[in-house]
Every structure is written in structure tokens, then in C-alpha cells.
Structure 1
Amino acid sequence: MGDVFSASPGDIQRAARIQAQLMDIVKNSVRDFHDDAARSAGWVGHDDAMARQLGPRDEKERHGTEETGKALMEAIAAMARVLNVNGNVIQGAQNDAFEAISNNASKSGRH
């Protein structure tokens, strides 16, 4: 017998909801990091050698961390969108198949 395709739209939709929840967690984490980092900005000083040496690196690391968090959030959001679309496509295909089976069964009187 040939390969069998099977899919559960409900499971796919659940996975999409989990991805959306993960996105919210990452979003909140990025926001919290930004807020906490802003409170500690300037910890290296302002005019002295330590500020000149560490300030640019500190700023670069803060910015890089936020950008990484935002990229992660975008990737998770994209995964959730893809799961939703795939779940809808699979559900539509299953609905069409069930309708075709029902139409054929009613025409022939057999199930």
C-alpha cells in the first residue's frame, strides 16, 4: 500500500497558540530587558577613561541583545502564522474530502 498522509488541524492550531504564547513571553522579556538596561545605563561613568573604554561596548551589547530578542520574536510570530495557515489549509482539504465522500455516498446509497 502507498504512503498515507494524516494531519490533525486541531493539533496544528494548538501549536500555533503555543507559539503565540511564546512570542508574548519573548516580547515581555525584550521590553523588561530594555527597561532594566535603561535604568542602569551610564553605570560605566560619563567622562572618564572607564566610560570611554566600556561605554561603546556596553551600548553595543545592549543594542545587540535587544535586536536578538526582536529577531527571535519575529521568528516565533512567523512560525505561528505559518502554523495557522497550514492548519486552515489542511482543515479545508479535510472538509472538502468529507463533503465529497458524503455527496458520493448519498448518490450511490452506500457509505
Structure 2
Amino acid sequence: MRISAFDSRGGAWYVFEWLPNYGCLVPNWTTAGAPVVVSGPCGKVTGGDYTWYAWPEGSDYELVNGGNTNLVLDMNVSTGRLQVWTANYGANQKWFVS
């Protein structure tokens, strides 16, 4: 996976690109509960929903979606799948860089 950052609105927005097919990490819809998929290639994805803002939460980050900034990257604890959801600051919405 390749991560590229760019400055916008005074902060760092990121694009998560899956290298085998150059697809972007993007929600299927910009509503709570929408699954997150790899779509692309990134160069053909339009709109802001393929961008993510890394909001610091202690030593972790909350990834805010650019298509709907009320939604964050969330792991559904029942299914283990990625989705976007309204921020509730739970452990399933915190991400770290390794």
C-alpha cells in the first residue's frame, strides 16, 4: 500500500493506494455504515471521498473521510469489515502507523 499526503485546509489529507491495482481506499457511499472498498485506479476516482484526514487521538489517529467529514474509518466489531461511521472515539475507530 502506498500512502500519499497533500496539504489542504491547513492539515494533511491522505490517499491510501493499493499497489497491485492502484486502487484507492474509498467508501461505497458517504453515509454511515457504508462499506469501504478498494476502487480505482486512483487517477480515475472523482470527488473527495477517496481522501482521509489523519486526526491525532493520542498516539493513534482517527481517519476522517473527505467525502463526508462527519464520518470516520471504522471497523465493524461484529464482522471485522471496514466501514465509515459517525465518530464515537471507540477503539475500533483508532488507527496507528507502523
TM (normalized to structure 1)?
Answer: 0.16
Which structure's CA Rg is the greater one?
Answer: 1
Structure with more of its chain in helix, by fraction: 1
Structure with more of its chain in strand, by fraction: 2
TM (normalized to structure 2)?
Answer: 0.17
Q: Which has the higher contact order (CA 8 A, sep 6+)?
A: 1
